[in-house]
């Protein structure tokens, strides 16, 4: 299992990588493994979200799960390439399988997220 140290993590198994005031969000390697083969993603029409809000769902062979925003802000892009290739979430969860980009409205919320070591402890790895 992969736990990149340059990311922040949520208890709901999303990750965020922040560059400037823009965060790229996805599901963790652990989460994609628990979900099984991802077959479909559905993103809400929301343009703004608050930390903890649902911004979509991921459908896998085993289950359907909500996707939660790790921080508050304005959604500036969703990875529409996943419509034709949802398996990228399984194959490259920290790269091509990213889900959305968000412009942070409250960067201080990042302080409430976990680092790689804390997330690794959460999932027992």
The CATH number of residue 106's host domain is: 2.40.50.100
Residue 100 lies in a domain: yes
| 3 in Cβ contact with 11 (< 8 Å) | no
Q: What is the full per-residue pLDDT of the chain (125 aa) written as tens digits? A: 899 999 999 999 999 999 999 999 999 999 999 999 999 999 998 899 999 999 999 999 989 999 999 999 999 999 999 999 999 999 999 999 999 999 999 999 999 999 999 999 999 98
Residue 117 lies in a domain: yes
Residue 2 lies in a domain: no
| pTM: predicted TM-score of the whole model, two decimal places | 0.95
Domain range for 95: 8-122
Residue 104 lies in a domain: yes
Query: What total number of domains does the chain contain?
Result: 1
Residue 3 lies in a domain: no
Residue 111 lies in a domain: yes
At 48 the pLDDT is 96
Residue 47 lies in a domain: yes
Residue 1 lies in a domain: no
């Amino acid at each position: 299992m992969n736990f990149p140290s340059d990311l922040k993590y949520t208890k709901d198994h999303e990750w965020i990588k922040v560059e400037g005031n823009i965060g790229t969000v996805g599901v963790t390697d652990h989460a994609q493994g628990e979900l099984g083969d991802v077959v479909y993603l559905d993103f809400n029409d929301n343009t703004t979200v608050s930390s903890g809000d649902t911004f979509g769902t991921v459908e896998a062979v085993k289950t359907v799960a909500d996707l939660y925003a790790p921080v508050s802000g304005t959604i500036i892009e969703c990875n529409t390439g996943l419509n034709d290739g949802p398996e990228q979430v399984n194959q490259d969860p920290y790269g091509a399988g990213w889900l959305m980009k968000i412009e942070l409205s409250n960067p201080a919320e990042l302080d409430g997220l976990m680092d790689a070591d804390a997330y690794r402890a959460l999932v027992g790895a």
